[in-house]
Amino acid sequence: MARQLSNQEIAHLFYQIAEYLQMQEVAFKPRAYERVARAVETLEEPLGVIYRRGGRKALAELPGVGASIAEKLEELVKTGRLRYYETLKRETPVDIEGLSAIEGLGPKTIKVLWQKLRIRKVEELERAARAGKLRTLPRLSAKIEEKILKSVAFQKQRGGRFLIGEALPLARRIEARLKELPQVKIAVVAGSLRRRRETIGDGDILVVSENPDLVTDFFLKMPEVVHVYGRGKTKTMVRLRNGMDFDFRIVPQESFGAALQYFTGNKDHNVALRQIAIKKGWKLNEYGLFRKRKAKSKKRKEAWTKFAGKTESEIYEALELAFIEPEMREMTGEIELARRRFGKGVALPGLVDYEDLLGDLQVQSDWTDGASSIEQLARAAQKAGLSYIAITDHTKRLAMTRGLDEKRLRRQIAEIDSVNRKIGGITILKGTECDILKDGTLDLPDRILVKLDVVGVSIHSFFTLSRAEQTARVVRAITNPHVDILFHPTGRLLGKRAAIDIDMAEIIRAARRTGTILEVNASPERLDLHDVHIRMAVEAGVKIAIDSDAHAATHFSLLEYGVAQARRGWAKKSDVVNTRPVSEMLKLLKKSS
């Protein structure tokens, strides 16, 4: 039987096809493949399951999928291969994913690099750029050569970490599979995954089982495992097919809490806990919390007894600390706050919860570069438990997305009215992701902005302005009385593009002064605002909005990463505007106040 590809792998393949087609300068088709890739990567079920249940027809019902793509998906699910892709790959055998992850390198340039210099992969690109061989080629210049070297260096410094959007679903699949084994009592994700860091070095999974050998065998036989670094009685380390390493530990039931605490980290947080234990004359490790026992016989002086370790909370409790949520365990002041028993200090904030969001204020439809219609988005959002969404398509300056001008936006407003009449149970708000121009003015005139419920603004150009210019530009934009939210405030793309140089303290002051909301964009490659900035904003009393930035009806599941990021920034439910019902949320926007 063919190996079952994961949704992630199928999406990767489709992204590559889109790049190949762009290389060949085919019109429209690349976008179609990209849209499908976007939709597939966030499906809740494996494509294979959907296919087995509903056949090719079920595939054709996915967002953006037409007859010809449904056929290709079917081939992939049935055979684990796609001849169409293999042909494209044969014609231009380059590492298209690796190369196109370099900022400044588009498919057409990659084609030139292949044709003129036979460059297949990033290392060859770097060598050629170092030797100054790129600048003379068509589509390239000394400036682009320099930009390429910068981006290569940026990627190296990232050091092979994985986005949480890829790592967490993978870890959860493994966790779920382990839980199905009757021999497994507990299987749980630990490490940076449990703390929901933006990027993950390696995965850590803890298992409680009475039959460690059998569970280890099962783990090693998983289809994703491509290399085994070591197998021990309690610890096994492997590499998976996507290049990610996983540590897998089997721990005794009675030490589970101590092990979970220890392997969740982070390291500095653990060291601090251990020091608290030592001060009390105790010992804390991954097996439990121990205190010295009065030696009964003179021979056995050093006798330790365990008095906590079955659960995590009993460890925090014994150390006279309030329970600290994993997302806060980064040694940035959480321990001081948790010393509740001493009655000093403030209590830990009650963090916004994963169930708290009622709406989503940044959603792109097929009017621009999204894969789904407004109606599909609304129905999917409703299914995801939301009671309102704002449609916020791009504006005209982003020509490649077919950004809306005033005229098309007016038509979209009418369309939203009609969809709202058609479907109940969810409110579709009218919005925009209006481009901030170089000087801080906006891509649409005020007379159309006043017609909208939610005005978001964001930067998609001139990323390299000086700090002073960039800050003034954004301050000017959010000072516009119609602007409600600053979308993805720093513009970074994780592992690909650095944040713009901006004075965030100044932006936060301006947001507070003007009543502007700052976005926590949940898209795993953005996660923007960053956690430190969320904390600054929240402390300053600035409200945040957690948005999916959905580009397909399947993307509302991404909101989870935004909530995680907000929790890492210590945000409470009351700090997040879209935890409120729509009428209350609207009152927090500028024009109603």
Binding interface with ligand DGT (CB under 6 A)? 191-192, 197, 200-202, 204, 262-263, 265-267, 270-271
Shortest distance (Å) from residue 414 CB to Zn ion: 22
Shortest distance (Å) from residue 78 CB to Zn ion: 33
* 146: exposed, middle or buried (Cβ count in 10 Å: 0-12, 13-18, 19+): middle
- Nearest residue to 43 via CA among 18, 57, 63, 73: 63
Which segment (291-299, 364-372, 437-445, 488-496) binds Zn ion by CB under 5 A?
364-372
Our CB check for ligand DGT shows the closer of 532 and 540 to be: 532
Shortest distance (Å) from residue 427 CB to Ca ion: 41
Contact 435, 395 (CB under 8 A): yes
Residue 496: how many other CB atoms lie within 10 Å: 15
Which segment (101-109, 246-254, 354-362, 458-466) binds Ca ion by CB under 5 A?
246-254
Which segment (241-249, 370-378, 384-392, 567-575) binds Ca ion by CB under 5 A?
241-249
Shortest distance (Å) from residue 573 CB to Zn ion: 28
Residue 324 three-state SS: coil
Shortest distance (Å) from residue 197 CB to ligand DGT: 6
Shortest distance (Å) from residue 162 CB to ligand DGT: 9
Which segment (120-128, 195-203, 350-358, 501-509) binds Ca ion by CB under 5 A?
195-203
Tokens 């590559």 label which residue? 16
Shortest distance (Å) from residue 324 CB to ligand DGT: 14
Number of H helices, E strands in the chain: 24, 17
Dihedral angle sign, alpha carbons of residues 419, 371, 402, 491? positive
Our CB check for Zn ion shows the closer of 369 and 443 to be: 369
Residues with Cβ within 8 Å of residue 108, at least 6 apart in sequence: 22, 23, 25, 139
Q: Which two tokens stand for residue 159?
A: 């050091």
Our CB check for ligand DGT shows the closer of 56 and 239 to be: 239
204 binds Ca ion (CB under 5 A): yes
Shortest distance (Å) from residue 432 CB to Ca ion: 40
β-bridge partners, 209: 184
519 binds Zn ion (CB under 5 A): no
Shortest distance (Å) from residue 263 CB to Ca ion: 8
Our CB check for ligand DGT shows the closer of 48 and 191 to be: 191
In the list Ca ion, Zn ion, ligand DGT, none, the entry touching 364 (Cβ below 5 to 8 angstroms by class) is Zn ion
* The binder of Zn ion chosen from 19, 145, 314, 369 (CB under 5 A): 369
Vertex 365 angle, CA 364 and 369, to 5°:
75
Q: Which two tokens stand for residue 372?
A: 């789904």
Contact 252, 306 (CB under 8 A): no
Which value, to the nearest 10 degrees, does the dihedral of the CA atoms of residues 122, 128, 129, 130 take? 110
Shortest distance (Å) from residue 370 CB to Zn ion: 7
Q: How many residues bind Ca ion (CB under 5 A)?
A: 5
175 binds Ca ion (CB under 5 A): no
Print the binding letters for residues 406-445 with Ca ion: x by CB under 5 A, - otherwise: ----------------------------------------
Single-letter amino acid, residue 253:
Q
* The binder of Zn ion chosen from 364, 392, 432, 548 (CB under 5 A): 364
Sheet strands side by side (includes 388-391): 359-363, 388-391, 427-435, 454-458, 485-486, 517-521, 544-547
55: left (phi over 0), alpha (psi -120 to 50) or beta: left
In the list ligand DGT, Zn ion, Ca ion, none, the entry touching 271 (Cβ below 5 to 8 angstroms by class) is ligand DGT
- Nearest residue to 380 via CA among 417, 415, 423: 423
Residue 169 three-state SS: helix
Shortest distance (Å) from residue 542 CB to Ca ion: 32
Q: How far apart are CA 500 and CA 195, in angstroms?
A: 26
- Nearest residue to 192 via CA among 221, 161, 160: 161
In the list Ca ion, ligand DGT, Zn ion, none, the entry touching 369 (Cβ below 5 to 8 angstroms by class) is Zn ion
Which segment (162-170, 200-208, 282-290, 363-371) binds Zn ion by CB under 5 A?
363-371
- Nearest residue to 207 via CA among 238, 162, 165, 176: 176
Our CB check for ligand DGT shows the closer of 135 and 235 to be: 235
* The binder of Ca ion chosen from 202, 433, 531, 560 (CB under 5 A): 202
Our CB check for ligand DGT shows the closer of 273 and 538 to be: 273
Q: Which two tokens stand for residue 312?
A: 């995590």
Binding site for Ca ion (CB under 5 A): 191-192, 202, 204, 247
